[in-house]
Chains A and B, each alone.
Chain A
Amino acid sequence: MENKAALAASPQTPANKPNGLTLIIKRLIQQRTLVLMSVPFVIWLFVFKYVPVWGWTIAFQDYQPSLSFKEQEWVGFHHFQSLFSEDRFLISLRNTLAMSGINLVLGFVTAVSLALLLNEVRKVAFKRVVQTVSYLPHFISWVVAAGIIQTMLAPDGIFNELLKTFGFIEKGQEILFLGKAEWFWGIFGASSVWKDVGWNTIVYLAAISSIDPAQYEAAEMDGAGRLRRMWFITLPGIKPVIIVLLIMNIGYLLESGFEPQYLLGNGMNAEYSENIDIFVLKYGLQQFNFPLATAAGMFKTVVSFVLLFSANHIAKRLGQDRLF
């Protein structure tokens, strides 16, 4: 595009070859409406998305809010060193990896399975109802979801009720589910599946719908039953989508979410619920240790960046379309 434009513009000033800059300025004046329509938002982008990246400098300073930028004392990687010798950070790193790992595996297995089962439903109306119902939890906020989950897990909630009905516990022995630290990952995984499994099937159902129906007919002729068709036609048919999404999601390994852990977390389960995002919030905005919290946040972003780019690269190498 740019080449063509340069070719078109250059013959008009053959005597003194215009350099690139004047040419660009000339064209910017020509396209001033487009400039006016977009540049204000580029400025917005710069202020709201790029200026905070400059804030990473705090991680290398002995930051004092009262001093100006020039007066701050630089301390190099000191805060990163103390970060990695901090037990609570290491625990939050472990929790982050564990919960995103659980989410990744559980999320994939449940969503792909549900998509396969939904695809086998022949009554369109029934399928629609199942889909509509399964999308519902996706649309409510995590606050509402946490409110519901707390109600379910309360001492007088349904889970304790069921345990009592089946005689596993006596009255008065009600379990405080969210108080059992080591159960938190499980509760988190189950909650996430409940909230998003339906929604996550959309991509797979779209992929399934592009499989050639002739394949199914051929398999049916050969006497393949439903399960065999699912296994040998549908699943291989959506394999490329599964692989791309799996790789892309590995790029988000340090993004285990924040809301469910924060909303369902409490003093009793902090050992297992606190992830990096909560660490940043607690050290930064509750204890006002800005440098340490910024260092933790920066660590997360930089590692995620490397992971995402590698993931994107691998997806490309495998000959699959990248997501963006």
Chain B
Amino acid sequence: MANSTSTTSTTQPGRYSRRGSSAGDRVFDIVNYIFLTCLMIVTLYPFLNTLAVSLNAASDSIKGGIHLWPRVFSAENYKFVFNEATIYNATFISVLRTVLGTVVTVFASAMVAYTISRPEYVLRKFITIAFIITMYINGGLIPNYLLIRDLGLINSFWVYIWPGVIGVFNLIIIRSFIEQLPESVIESGRIDGAGDFRTFFNIVFPLCLPVLATVALFTAVYQWNSWFDVFLYNSSNVKLSTLQYELQKILQNSNTTSSAETAFANSGSGASIKVSPLSIRATMTIVAAVPMIIVYPFLQKYFVKGMTVGGVKG
């Protein structure tokens, strides 16, 4: 079911059998194509403009008028950004939390989803309800902060992993997937004398890979894009900073600067500005965004699948 909805939603080969015959239809088509093309331009322009600014010499960018292409090409902004030791460490932490967080979440969610998909399990109802309640009620910022503090997770890498081990949404889509598997497949494991753990690991887990890919991608995007937990719990420890948080700090600094976005890191020599807040901001934005931008077109079908499975089921 999941497969059919997602494929038809992304590729819908010729809904109408006959080509638009009337003149009105043709006008509609032309207007529609023009509109959608404009929409693409509007969507993409901000990215391309930011990229152009990041590749343009800072002293020239201040004059404005940069659009899709750098006017005075310069790699100086990137040199400046990558000159700081923090950025390598931040990249490392970003990658580490993305990989580790995703592995933990996928494995834990799949395991719990398997147990609550077993009809004979006594605690099945209790566990399912206990998880679903948390979708509606949460303690909120302050109690959560106090909990993390009391658990000693402040100033620790594990604060990126522990709070997000299982997401209820993930749990539900994996459970629905497992429940669609033919019972005979799971029973065949039983007959071979496999216990629940081996049945899960050897039979169910491999069969779930399509839905687990979706969960993994959602989790990875979430982990890569997170900055608030860094800000809240680890802002005093630069060793635990991430790329997104480094960018957030830059935004925060340049947030209130007005047109006088000039004097910054040019260390006294006013004539030869090498970088400016504007150019650094653009450069860090690109650095923090590029991994996602490169990866997502190849993986979008899994995301779409997850959306349609979770959104309109039944």
Q: Is the CB of A203 within 8 A of B288?
A: no
Which candidate, A70-78, A81-89, A90-98, A130-138, is the interface stretch facing chain B?
A130-138
Residues of A whose CB lies within 8 Å of any CB of B are 1-2, 5, 24, 27-28, 31, 33-39, 41-42, 44-56, 58, 114, 117-122, 124, 126-137, 139-144, 146-152, 154-158, 160-161, 174, 176, 178-179, 194, 198-199, 202-203, 205-210, 213, 216-217, 220, 225-227, 241, 258-259, 263, 266-268, 277, 280-281, 284-285, 290, 293-294, 297-298, 300-301, 304-305, 308-309, 321, 323-324
Name A118's closest neighbour in chain B (CB-CB).
B36
Bound CA–CA A28/B19 (angstroms): 64
Q: Is the CB of A48 within 8 A of B120?
A: no
Question: Given A140-B225, A144-B289, A147-B285, are A321 and B12 neighbors across the interface (CB < 8 Å)?
Answer: no
Bound CA–CA A121/B16 (angstroms): 10
B124 to chain A, nearest CB (A): 8
Q: Is the CB of A198 within 8 A of B43?
A: yes
Name B311's closest neighbour in chain A (CB-CB).
A203
Residue among B119, B284, B307 making CB contact with A202, cutoff 8 Å: B307
Can you name 6 A-B pairs with beta carbons within 8 Å? A37-B111, A129-B40, A146-B251, A151-B282, A156-B261, A298-B140
Give chain B residues whose Cβ lies under 8 Å from the Cβ of A127.
11-12
The 5 A-B residue pairs with the shortest CB-CB distance, nearest first, are A52-B139, A55-B143, A297-B140, A141-B225, A147-B285
Judged by a CB distance under 8 angstroms, whether B268 is at the interface is no
Residue among A37, A41, A139 making CB contact with B196, cutoff 8 Å: A37
Q: Is the CB of B256 within 8 A of A37?
A: no
Q: Is the CB of A42 within 8 A of B200?
A: no
Bound CA–CA A119/B32 (angstroms): 11
Question: Given A56-B143, A202-B304, A206-B312, are A132 and B297 neighbors across the interface (CB < 8 Å)?
Answer: yes
Name B297's closest neighbour in chain A (CB-CB).
A132
Judged by a CB distance under 8 angstroms, whether B269 is at the interface is no
Bound CA–CA A209/B5 (angstroms): 8
Q: Is the CB of A206 within 8 A of B6?
A: yes
Which candidate, B22-30, B77-85, B206-214, is the interface stretch facing chain A?
B22-30
Question: Given A147-B50, A156-B62, are A281 and B141 neighbors across the interface (CB < 8 Å)?
Answer: yes
A293 to chain B, nearest CB (A): 5
Name B313's closest neighbour in chain A (CB-CB).
A321
Give chain A residues whose Cβ lies under 8 Å from the Cβ of B136.
304-305, 308-309
Question: Given A34-B118, A321-B313, are A147 and B162 neighbors across the interface (CB < 8 Å)?
Answer: no
Bound CA–CA A101/B254 (angstroms): 29
Judged by a CB distance under 8 angstroms, whether B232 is at the interface is yes
Question: Given A53-B137, A277-B141, are A122 and B16 neighbors across the interface (CB < 8 Å)?
Answer: yes
Question: Given A158-B49, A161-B65, are A203 and B120 neighbors across the interface (CB < 8 Å)?
Answer: no
Number of chain B residues close to chain A: CB under 8 A: 120
Question: Given A118-B36, A143-B227, are A134 and B43 neighbors across the interface (CB < 8 Å)?
Answer: yes
Name B296's closest neighbour in chain A (CB-CB).
A139
Q: Is the CB of B63 within 8 A of A156?
A: yes
Q: Is the CB of A24 within 8 A of B143?
A: no
B132 to chain A, nearest CB (A): 7
Give chain B residues whose Cβ lies under 8 Å from the Cβ of A241.
312
Bound CA–CA A277/B140 (angstroms): 9
- B193-222: CB near A (< 8 Å → 1, else 0) gives 001110010000000000000000000010
Residue among B9, B62, B166, B228 making CB contact with A209, cutoff 8 Å: B9
Name A289's closest neighbour in chain B (CB-CB).
B142
Question: Given A140-B225, A209-B9, are A280 and B139 neighbors across the interface (CB < 8 Å)?
Answer: no
Q: Is the CB of B311 within 8 A of A143?
A: no
Bound CA–CA A46/B179 (angstroms): 26
Q: Is the CB of A45 within 8 A of B134?
A: yes
Question: Given A38-B123, A143-B244, A220-B16, are A305 and B137 neighbors across the interface (CB < 8 Å)?
Answer: yes
Q: Is the CB of A226 within 8 A of B20?
A: yes
Q: Is the CB of A124 within 8 A of B13?
A: yes
Give chain B residues whose Cβ lies under 8 Å from the Cβ of A198.
43
Bound CA–CA A15/B254 (angstroms): 79
B193 to chain A, nearest CB (A): 13
Bound CA–CA A176/B22 (angstroms): 49
